[in-house]
């Protein structure tokens, strides 16, 4: 496609995506390529994106980030999972934790033993056999010294952008403040050659990373890549976000509370709570969403509610010509499972692995796009699962979700689990069997059968195994401090 060697990377946009990309490229490849980032303070960032999943820790290690420093700078708290309330039925509650559920064997998953144990009346709720879930339920947390909790963070998105910027600039990224007015392209090859700024400055480069958020200035406005709309499967298209004072100790999990037209998030940080209402504008008026959110929060707002409109779907090619889109410009699946920051980080990692030093080629580009597409489609299916497996009939929104057609890929997974409790993690897929299991059962998908290996152990032996597992987890949780207490000790006196 281009013989032109990549010596200079231009990152357009300085939100979480822009600074993640710029910092990682400069830190890993700074000796080989120059990295420039253009952003506009006048435009600002989307300002949401505060719940994460455990893969963020791997990315931080890769950037050499000190955990305490990061947590102090971003008001971060620890996150062990998400509590889903009112999803299958009003009044229901389950936690999708980051933990392993029970112990599996090579032949199959723990669920088969658990289902047999349940039939025999000797198994407790599934969550009794998951360490992270029990720690979350009891508000406990510890890390280091042999503690093995799998965790992520809640963080302040704006502070996180600033934090990543410090890392990027100290790794050699040159930041240019200014508004991009025009994207220049070569008339023959169609490749992007430069960003023309309102100031008159022209920022030329070899490879361009589009991190301009929903505006998608390079990948869509300039290159007209196209977008696959998924709103027929995921009909929410708006969020209202507002911050409140904390009303008690920070919970080590996110709350996702379903309502008649979508769901509401509650994300505890060290010194404030992030709240938001996600809804479908086809099923709920903005004014009703506003009243619902302000009526549901449990403290005085400390910011004005902010409306964010979005479109769910995927850019047809995340990498088109010499432009790679990362973050919101590459597509968006709503924040129910806090996957967007992960997708940015995995996208950056993949770009580093496939970096086009000798020039952009179709083979590199196609490989990148194939992996990005498969990954986002699997995330999409997992999110649809939460909406589709509902028994709610109380609103047109839930009627739509319950009765809508779903992707074949998801329909076959649901059938597989319904028939015989079989669940799997496909290659290149983010969510593990533990996640599918917790959400499918939490959404009341009750399997009609299970693998008969679940019956192999004699009843007494199975009871001992299940009881032992539960007791070990309970003892480990007992030994841990309260999340708030641990946080205070870990991050110092910043916490109120
Ligand atoms: C309602 C909602 C809730 C979310 N919650 C979560 C969550 O809990 N967890 C999670 O992982 N993700 C979440 N996300 C996604 C997350 O917010 C984004 O993935 C993340 O913030 C990255 O955004 P971005 O950097 O792509 O875009 P932005 O933050 O919008 O940044 C765009 C950048 O481009 C710059 N820019 C734009 N136009 C120009 C121009 N003309 N000239 C110069 N600069 C320009 C802007 O100044 C800015 O710096 C959520 C998203 C939404 C909408």
Query: What ranges do the domains of the chain cover?
Result: 8-77+154-230+313-374, 98-139+379-478, 238-309
pLDDT at position 496 is 42
Residue 74 token pair = 């971003």
Contact 220, 300 (CB under 8 A): no
Nearest to 266 by CA among 234, 238, 237, 242: 242
CA of 384 to the centre of ligand 1 (A): 22
CA of 368 to the centre of ligand 1 (A): 21
Element (H, E) at 157: helix 157-170
| CATH no., domain 8-77+154-230+313-374 | 3.50.50.60
The single residue listed with the structure tokens 């004699």 is: 458
pLDDT at position 4 is 80
Contact 201, 212 (CB under 8 A): no
Pocket residue to mutate for ligand 1, from 10, 11, 16, 332, most atoms within 8 A of Cβ = 16
Active-site pick, 27, 70, 73, 79: 79
Q: How far apart are the first and last CA of the chain?
A: 56
pLDDT at position 1 is 58
CA of 428 to the centre of ligand 1 (A): 24
The single residue listed with the structure tokens 């991009």 is: 180
Q: In terms of DSSP H, where are the helices of 248-339? A: 286-296
CA of 376 to the centre of ligand 1 (A): 17
User: Which residues line the annotated binding site for 7-chloro-L-tryptophan?
Assistant: 79
pLDDT at position 428 is 83
For residue 317, indicate whether it is catalytic: no
pLDDT at position 492 is 80
Q: What residues in the chain have per-residue pLDDT under 70?
A: 1-3, 146-147, 493-496
C-beta 328 within 6 A of ligand 1:
yes
C-beta 477 within 6 A of ligand 1:
no
C-beta 39 within 6 A of ligand 1:
yes
For the chain, give the mean pLDDT.
95
C-beta 237 within 6 A of ligand 1:
no
**Alpha-carbon span 12 to 184, nearest angstrom:** 13
DSSP assignments along 328-388, one per residue: GGGEE--GGG--HHHHHHHHHHHHHHT--TT---HHHHHHHHHHHHHHHHHHHHHHHHHHH
């Amino acid at each position: 496609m281009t013989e032109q060697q990549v010596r200079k990377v231009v990152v357009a946009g300085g939100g979480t995506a822009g600074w993640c990309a710029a910092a990682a490229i400069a830190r890993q490849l700074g000796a080989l390529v120059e990295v420039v980032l253009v952003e506009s303070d006048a435009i600002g960032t989307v300002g949401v994106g505060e719940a994460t999943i455990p893969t963020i820790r791997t990315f931080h290690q890769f950037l050499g980030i000190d955990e305490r420093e990061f947590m102090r700078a971003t008001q971060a708290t620890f996150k062990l999972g998400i509590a889903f309330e009112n999803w299958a039925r009003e009044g229901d509650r389950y936690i999708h934790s980051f933990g392993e559920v029970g112990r599996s064997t090579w032949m199959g998953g723990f669920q088969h033993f658990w289902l047999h144990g349940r039939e025999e009346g000797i198994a407790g709720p599934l969550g009794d056999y998951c360490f992270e879930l029990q720690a979350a339920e009891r508000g406990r947390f510890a890390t280091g010294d042999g503690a093995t909790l799998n965790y992520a963070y809640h963080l302040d998105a704006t502070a996180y952008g600033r934090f990543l910027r410090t890392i990027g600039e100290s790794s050699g990224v040159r930041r240019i403040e200014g508004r991009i007015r025009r994207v220049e392209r070569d008339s023959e090859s169609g490749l992007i050659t430069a960003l023309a700024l309102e100031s008159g400055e022209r920022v030329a480069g070899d490879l361009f990373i589009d991190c301009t958020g929903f505006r998608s200035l390079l990948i869509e406005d300039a290159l007209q890549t196209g977008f696959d709309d998924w709103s027929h499967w995921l009909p929410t298209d708006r969020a209202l976000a507002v911050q409140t004072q904390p009303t008690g100790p920070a919970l080590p999990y996110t709350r996702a509370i379903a309502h008649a037209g979508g769901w509401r998030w509650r994300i505890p940080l060290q010194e404030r709570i992030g709240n938001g209402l996600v809804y479908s504008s086809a099923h709920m008026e903005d004014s009703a969403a506003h009243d619902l959110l302000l009526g549901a929060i449990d403290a005085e707002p400390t910011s004005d509610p902010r409306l964010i409109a979005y479109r769910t779907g995927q850019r047809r090619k995340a990498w088109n010509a010499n432009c790679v889109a990362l973050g919101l410009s590459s597509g968006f699946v709503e924040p129910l499972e806090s996957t967007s920051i992960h997708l940015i980080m995995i996208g950056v990692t993949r770009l580093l692995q496939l970096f086009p030093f000798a020039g952009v080629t179709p083979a590199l580009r196609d490989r990148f796009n194939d992996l990005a597409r498969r990954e986002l489609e699997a995330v999409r299916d997992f999110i649809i699962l939460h909406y589709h497996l509902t028994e709610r009939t109380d609103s047109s929104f839930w009627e739509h979700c319950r009765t809508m057609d779903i992707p074949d890929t998801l329909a076959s997974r649901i059938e597989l689990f319904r028939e015989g409790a079989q669940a799997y993690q496909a290659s290149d897929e983010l969510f593990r069997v533990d996640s599918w299991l917790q959400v499918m059962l939490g959404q009341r998908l009750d399997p009609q059968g299970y693998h008969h290996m679940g019956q192999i152990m004699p009843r007494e032996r199975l009871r001992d195994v299940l009881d032992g597992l539960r007791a070990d987890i309970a003892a480990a949780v007992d030994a841990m401090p309260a999340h708030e207490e641990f946080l205070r000790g870990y991050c110092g006196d910043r916490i109120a």
